[in-house]
Amino acid sequence: MRVVIQRVKSASVTVDQKQVSAIGPGILALVGLHHEDAETDMQYCVKRLLAVKLWENDNGAPWRHHIKQKGFEILCVSQFTLYGTLSKKNQPDYKLAMKADQAQTMYSKFLEMLKEGYEKDRIMDGKFGEMMDVGLVNDGPVTLVIDSRDDKKGPSGSQMSSSSLEDAEKINNDER
């Protein structure tokens, strides 16, 4: 699972010239599902998305507060093209993306997991499978990528053992 996050001052989604969602300060999250993704991939991305420290604290120290500490909103937009590749003829190919029916179910579950981990009314959504006009005012700009496949690799890209993953998890928990 891949989530491209952007810190925004505002963001909105319009479908057929009608605004379907809008947020003030917060995160715009473009969400792509890989054809092999499972619930563990969603759990990883939800945890990282809700914990990423993109804002300064009350003393002005940068990168100290996460979305929940600020009380900001998240606007999620499904985007299968995040798993697009280019052919030799420079044509996009989306074979790595999850098929629409399964992706819609997984994406809905992802939204529910975010709502369970935060506040229901702070999680907004576009319209799955529709052509959407996404508008945003970047704050920074700050753009990061959360990829659940990165969780399975070490710093050099090699596979980490389960004990290494557990150690990394313990370090993350201790930092909080």
pLDDT digit string (tens) for 19-53? 999 999 999 999 999 999 999 999 999 999 999 99
pTM: 0.85
- Summarised one tens digit per residue, pLDDT across range 62-111 is 999 999 999 999 999 999 999 999 999 999 999 999 999 999 999 999 99
Tell me the C-alpha distance between 139 and 4, whole Å.
Answer: 15
Q: What is the tens place of the pLDDT at every residue in 136-161?
A: 999 999 999 999 998 776 444 434 33
Model confidence at 175: pLDDT above 90 = no
C-alpha dihedral sign at 29, 34, 39, 44:
negative
Mean pLDDT within 103-125: 98
